[in-house]
A and B are shown apart, each in its own frame.
Chain A
Amino acid sequence: MRALVLGLLALSGMAGASDMDDLLSALKQAQTLEARGVVEVTVLFPPRELPTKSAKALPRVPFRPGLLARNFGVSRARQEAVAGRPATRFELTPKNTQAARWTLWIDQEWNIPLGYQESFPDGTPARRAVFQKVNAPPVRVQVAVPAAPEGLRAALIAALPGLRLSAGVQPTAVKSRPNGGLEISLTDGVNVFALVTSPRGVRAAPGIASRRVGTGFVWLVGNLPQSVLDQALARVSRVDTAGLGTFLKVDASNAQNTPTLHKETP
């Protein structure tokens, strides 16, 4: 009996590892191959006037395989058709139960994503992009997610002592704001968070925490419960961003956070 239980446990672990490997393999394939067609993109958080729009390709999600494997459990769900193509649905369950969970649909033949969905903890969609129509064949692309600068996390903790970041969350980029302050992008491998130092506060709203520290303010924005956002900033005792200067990008565009599309061939 004990051997049977151990065997089942081992099989269960192997299945989880296998699902993770299969998903990471598809995400790796997506760096060089991309489907085109008609994608319905819906963003409900942050709220916008027109939540749904149409696109020719899936928006980029800056997946970071190392963090994803560390912070999420992956399980293969049932097979589903997406835009008429057979696809495998993968469920990404965060180990931090308060983080957003994700669903990915992977094309069974091409082994690339045909859809993503970020869900609130209650399961309702916060962000979703799924093909409605797929053109064959997929196109060749070259996509790279810039590596997070080494030492940035330590510099961030030194700049904002008392900041409570979950162990699995890493800062990936820093850029300056036009009217003073900094914007720091954070990720848990899939989800994205924005940390801001600013001379001004920001009005309270869902997914936004703002706290006065010294003569300035610190904001944290993300798809997390309000209490988690507030607690992350609750003990920040000062803001001294001088040490983050070496991580600042000269170009203040979003390029550093956005996967870079180098070339594309049909």
Chain B
Amino acid sequence: MNDHDLDTLFAQARTPTPADEGAAGRFLSGHRQRRTRQRNIRAGWISTLLASAAAVAGLTVLRPAPDLPASAAYGVYQSAWGDGW
């Protein structure tokens, strides 16, 4: 293949064909659909995470604090006796 053949081949490759028409539009359309799908999936996860965090926070705040161990009361009693005991 000589230089002329190569030039002809490149010229053919640069010439738009019917298949090239609307390719950019098709790509953009598909790209947008994929982005929307990903966004929806991500939004679903974030919503789930936020809901879980809210549930945990709500339980933490609303649930009564557990009772202190008996040693907390005994410590106060012992301190009322003072040092040495």
Interface pair A47/B74, CB less than 8 Å apart: yes
Let me know if A243 is at the binding interface, CB within 8 A: no
Nearest CB on B from A165, distance (A): 15
CB <8 Å contact, B76 and A258: no
B73 and A194 within 8 A (CB): yes
Q: Which residue of A lies closest to B83 (CB)?
A: A258
Q: Quick check: B74 and A221 within 8 Å, CB to CB?
A: yes
Q: A199-B65, A203-B69 are in contact. Are A46 and B74 (CB under 8 A)?
A: yes
Q: Contact between A43 and B80 (Cβ–Cβ < 8 Å)?
A: no
Bound state CA distance, A41 and B78, in angstroms?
Answer: 14
Nearest to A208 among chain B residues (CB) is: B73
Q: Point out the residue from B73, B74, B83 that lies within 8 Å of A60, measured CB to CB.
A: B83
A238 on interface, CB distance cutoff 8 Å: no
Q: Give chain B nearest CB distance to A234 CB in angstroms.
A: 18
| B70 beta carbon closer than 8 Å to chain A | yes
B70 and A254: CB pair below 8 A?
no
Q: Does A202 contact B77, Cβ atoms closer than 8 Å?
A: no
Point out the residues of chain A lying under 8 angstroms from B65, CB to CB: 199-200
Contact residues, A49-87 vs B (CB, 8 A): 55, 57-60, 62
Q: From residue A30, how far is it (CB to closest CB) to chain B in Å? A: 13
Kindly list chain B residues whose C-beta atoms are within 8 Å of the C-beta of A60: 82-84
Is A193 at the interface (CB under 8 A from chain B)? yes
Contact present for B80 and A185 (CB under 8 Å) = yes
* Closest chain B residue to A61, Cβ basis: B81
Interface residues on A, range: 35 or more
Residue total for B at the interface (Cβ-Cβ under 8 A):
19
Q: A201-B68, A202-B67, A202-B72 are in contact. Are A207 and B84 (CB under 8 A)?
A: no
Contacting residues of chain A (171-192) with chain B, CB-CB under 8 angstroms: 183, 185, 192
Q: Which of A59, A127, A192, A203 contacts B70 (CB 8 A)?
A: A203
Interface residues of B in 39-85 (CB under 8 A from A): 65-70, 72-74, 76-85
Which residues of A in the span 181-225 have a Cβ within 8 Å of any Cβ on B?
183, 185, 192-194, 196, 198-205, 207-208, 210, 219, 221-222
Contacts of B81 in A (CB 8 A): 59, 62, 192, 257
Contacting residues, chain A, for B67 (C-beta < 8 A): 200-203, 210
Give B5 Cβ to nearest chain A Cβ, in Å. 90
State the CA gap A79–B25 with chains docked (Å).
Answer: 113
Chain A residues engaging chain B, CB cutoff 8 angstroms: 41, 43, 46-47, 55, 57-60, 62, 127, 129, 183, 185, 192-194, 196, 198-205, 207-208, 210, 219, 221-222, 254, 257-259
Can you sample 10 A-B contacts with CB below 8 Å? Answer: A46-B74, A62-B82, A193-B80, A199-B65, A203-B67, A205-B70, A210-B67, A219-B73, A254-B80, A257-B80
